[in-house]
Amino acid sequence: MSRVNLAIIGGGLVGASLALALQAGARARGWKIVLIEPFAPGHTWQPSYDARSSALSFGARQIYQRLGLWQNISQRAEPIKQIHVSDRGRFSTARLSASEEGVPALGYVVENAWLGQCLWQGLDKDVVSWRCPAQVTRMEPLVDGYRLTLDDETLLECDLAVLADGGRSGLREQLGVGVSNRPYDQSALIANITPSEAHDGMAFERFTDDGPMALLPLPENRCALVWTRQGMDAQRLAGLDERSFLSELQSVFGYRLGALKQVGVRHLYPLALVEAEEQVRPHLAILGNAAHSLHPIAGQGFNLSLRDAQALADALLDSESVPGDFAVLQAYRERQRMDQTLTVGFSDQVTRLFSSRLPLVSVARNLGLLGLDALPPAKRWFARQAMGLGTRPDV
Ligand SMILES: Cc1cc2nc3c(=O)[nH]c(=O)nc-3n(C[C@H](O)[C@H](O)[C@H](O)COP(=O)(O)OP(=O)(O)OC[C@H]3O[C@@H](n4cnc5c(N)ncnc54)[C@H](O)[C@@H]3O)c2cc1C
């Protein structure tokens, strides 16, 4: 049986980013890391690198810059120069702009498949060895670590096991980690759209009585659509022929980008706010969607998990102890608590406020949008949350 310092279970966006954040320090310390993942990037079933795109915050760019990956990622990252927020059927709108915030971009939209490729290419196999395709089927706590059973019946021991196996984590359940699960009764329909007019780096967040939608700028003048609707309605939209779908989307989105000409493959994601009740135990950390899955409309889920991953790597590398020391893991958890609470709260409240059909709530959000545009401090606060800088006084 082999033993390593760290085993990262799940090589999705979060697991791979953690491996990269640890890589240089691990090399210096002689640590051995294993990344275990059933599907290599580019495989159609790899959940992290499917047809989705991610809006990376300005804070995420800073992290990837620090890791020396940004130059590669930025080759296919579309900068968000402005965000246009509107409420269908009401006059109020708000605009956030990169120039007003004094940043080169409010964020960047990257296709997950491209991001995955950049992350996996950045891994140094001498420090991070891959077990792919492979899956962990069992985790057993030991006094000084964890014993993992893989699907080929091989055993692997580690000082620290990091669970980054996604929102439906079967291993979290196996370990008896409780979750709070609040379904939104909504699904996100995603697809790429080609409009007739240039998007010019403008991202649109549009709120309607039937749920919020986002249209984010992509390279080659495409846009990534995230359209949130009640579950049955989302299924109906996914089943429409291309022309009927585009015509319904056009009637809800309007003509801000001219005629919507083409739609790519549509996928559905049922949505819930799921939070693990524990994120650390001795020799165990839970990260990414396995720790918290958020509603996608505010584009915060992966950005938050990337900050968690960087903070966990910093905590492990700043300590003299062997990875897995509970005090170090608890200190990491404390450091990220405020960021997680604010980001999860922001994302959840924006979603619920902007999904409500109650007349008073509609009036409040209309006033909120007007106030946001008229009040520079409120707008700045909103922009910082959207850029993933909300809890970082240093930036
Ligand atoms: C429609 C949509 C749009 C989104 N848009 C944004 C956005 O714009 N910005 C943003 O910040 N966030 C966004 N998010 C959130 C973001 O996608 C997630 O935060 C991110 O995918 C979480 O990554 P993860 O690595 O934790 O989980 P996953 O992506 O689920 O990856 C988990 C990995 O673990 C592997 N795995 C599973 N079980 C095992 C096992 N037993 N052993 C080994 N490996 C295993 C899986 O194969 C997978 O590769 C969006 C989410 C959705 C649904």
Cα–ligand 1 centroid distance for 48 (angstroms): 4
Could you say which residues of the chain have pLDDT below 70? 41-46, 88-92, 353-395
Q: Which ligand 1 atom is nearest residue 269's CA?
A: 53
Nearest 5 degrees, angle CA 155-CA 158-CA 159?
A: 160
pLDDT of residue 173: 95
DSSP notation for 293-362: E--GGGS-HHHHHHHHHHHHHHHHHH-SSPTT-HHHHHHHHHHHHHHHHHHHHHHHHHHHHHH---HHHH
pLDDT of residue 380: 61
Nearest CA residue ID for atom 30, ligand 1? 166
Ligand 1 neighbours, Cβ below 6 Å, are: 9-15, 36-39, 46-48, 52, 54-55, 135-136, 164-167, 171, 188, 190, 226, 269, 288-289, 296, 299-303, 305
Cα–ligand 1 centroid distance for 80 (angstroms): 22
pLDDT of residue 42: 67
Rg (alpha carbons) of the chain, rounded to whole number: 21
Q: Which ligand 1 atom is nearest residue 216's CA?
A: 8
Q: Which ligand 1 atom is nearest residue 304's CA?
A: 11
Q: Which ligand 1 atom is nearest residue 293's CA?
A: 19
Test site for ligand 1: of 9, 49, 52, 58, most ligand atoms within 8 A of the Cβ: 52
Report the C-alpha gap between 185 and 101 in whole angstroms: 35
pLDDT of residue 297: 78
What are the residue ranges of helices labelled H in the chain? 13-29, 58-66, 70-73, 98-101, 112-121, 170-174, 231-239, 242-253, 301-318, 326-355, 359-374, 376-386
The interaxial angle of helices 359-374 and 376-386, nearest 10 deg, is: 100
Specify the 3-state DSSP secondary structure of 4.
strand
Q: Which ligand 1 atom is nearest residue 15's CA?
A: 25
Cα–ligand 1 centroid distance for 66 (angstroms): 22
**pLDDT tens-digit map of 21-53:** 999 999 999 999 999 999 876 666 667 777 889
Report the C-alpha gap between 222 and 160 in whole angstroms: 42
Nearest CA residue ID for atom 9, ligand 1? 299
CA nearest 136: which of 125, 147, 123, 124?
Answer: 147
Q: Encoding tokens for residue 6?
A: 């760290």
Long-range residue pairs from 150-158, CB within 8 A, at least 24 positions apart, any chain = 150/36, 154/1, 155/1, 156/1, 156/2, 156/3, 156/4, 156/7, 156/34, 156/131, 157/1, 157/2, 157/3, 157/4, 158/3, 158/4, 158/5, 158/6, 158/7, 158/34, 158/283, 158/324
Cα–ligand 1 centroid distance for 361 (angstroms): 32
CB 109 within 8 A of CB 56: yes
pLDDT of residue 394: 44
Report the C-alpha gap between 173 and 130 in whole angstroms: 24
pLDDT of residue 335: 96
CA nearest 294: which of 329, 269, 312, 313?
Answer: 269
Specify the 3-state DSSP secondary structure of 109.
strand
Decide which of 3.30.230.10, 3.40.50.800, 3.30.9.10, 3.40.190.10 is the CATH code for 82-98+184-271: 3.30.9.10
Decide which of 1.10.490.10, 3.50.50.60, 3.20.20.70, 3.90.1280.10 is the CATH code for 2-55+113-180+273-350: 3.50.50.60
Cα–ligand 1 centroid distance for 90 (angstroms): 35
Residue boundaries of the structural domains of the chain: 2-55+113-180+273-350, 82-98+184-271
CA nearest 116: which of 219, 260, 10?
Answer: 10
Nearest CA residue ID for atom 52, ligand 1? 296
First-residue to last-residue Cα distance in the chain = 46
pLDDT of residue 323: 97
Nearest 5 degrees, angle CA 273-CA 278-CA 280?
A: 130
Which amino acid is residue 63, in one-letter code?
Answer: I
CA nearest 162: which of 176, 179, 178, 145?
Answer: 145
pTM of the model: 0.92
Test site for ligand 1: of 17, 54, 139, 310, most ligand atoms within 8 A of the Cβ: 54
Q: Is the dihedral of CA 335, 336, 341, 345 positive or negative?
A: positive
Test site for ligand 1: of 112, 117, 165, most ligand atoms within 8 A of the Cβ: 165
Which amino acid is residue 288, in one-letter code?
Answer: G
CB 199 within 8 A of CB 58: no
CB 384 within 8 A of CB 300: no
Q: Encoding tokens for residue 331?
A: 């200190």
Q: Encoding tokens for residue 124?
A: 């140094």
